[in-house]
Structure 1
């Protein structure tokens, strides 16, 4: 029974994780991965700093130990010198004391040299650990730099994918195969407008083919003809233009006006009928009379 419960729990956990991954924003997950890498890199840097600090501390201890060894060596030599001087002077007691002091310095010198040797061994190990730590930090820095570049590339791909998805949705919304929704598509609007336009054309065609429409057309033609004649009369009554006497090379309006002027001028230049004189003979003032003789 416990095994079944564990399997069911693992199955539900895996299913929940899968659904969560499907619904999760990739940008947020990328930022989480980068933050985790940065956290690990900072932890590695701190560990490497500890290793390097241990090496530096060992180096400082070694420097003090080397100085201690040098001091003990010098002290032991000085004690031996004093012992030899006292022995040469015949003071055996003082010489023995200096010999004992030199022995003490020698014992401390042996311990100091042993400690110094241990420190040197530890320092070599610390140097190796420091080199490994430096290489690890450098390698992890390069990996983090690659992850940041990969993050930029993935974010760019995500933006392109979002743009293409939006364009696909827009194209699908304008397609005729798209199922009807709350907003009408352009195809539906076009069909509605074309239907309304065709019905309007049909009504206009029916209205223009009737008897009343033909009668209205005849009346309109008659009115246009009378308007044209009246316009010609108005043009004929206008005074001639200054350049109309030079010929009929002008426009139609000038020709019509010139013709009207010629008709009026012809009527005014007809000869008047002859009128009788007071003596019953017509006047002929311009010609001489017939010659007469004295009778």
Structure 2
């Protein structure tokens, strides 16, 4: 996995784009050096999710299978809201993901989408390690949305290939809660999802009315009538810095996450995109100077983000 490249994140969408368009977007991503693709069993309905799209892509472009590092989340229920790390549930999830790909592409990384509080972590990871990793059915084991203590515990059970966590100028929690420290000490790459702050840092939202009425974001604490006007002020400041540099706000935001991983831990951003134009924009590497990083740091210090990262119905460890 190359931290110098922006990678592709699949996300759940209420109104997914047409399959042919999605395949075109994926091809554009790979043509632009974006070769870590991150999806989930629960991104989309069971008959039209990340895996079904990927199967169709690799059916059309079988030569690309070896060019892509594929990371898939599962064992979290049909909507990612009911983590189940029991042996039977883990087997059912991994087997389903493998079957949906129809042998066209191996899963390079499998991540439990969330940690099951009712199943010992050792039980979950031992199934993945002994029945799938050692058997060659998957290439590695990752973690998603976990505490620092969980990372340390997992590393004693199996080799942890990656830790997926939210990271953006709007979400810097991992540098305060020990997650970044743990991954650095254990030499585990951090896969940063939502590097553009769930759209805040793209410039597409000016007011709350710009957020579609049927968007899941309408349920998120930071997208409420009392919090959005506060949070958009940071986005406006970031947009000004981006304009001065001659890049888009999205490129600046992604560049910041890459810069945060220039030492340790390594940080690999996985922004989502639904158009080829957006993929090309996101894939353009933007190097930030030390002065620009300081300016962004000072900008962050001026703002207190209003609202939590997730609504209460989304399971988050810790």
TM-score of the superposition, structure 2-length normalised? 0.14
* Higher strand fraction (1 or 2): 2
Q: Which has the higher contact order (CA 8 A, sep 6+)?
A: 2
TM-score of the superposition, structure 1-length normalised? 0.15
* Higher helix fraction (1 or 2): 1
Rg comparison, structure with higher value = 1
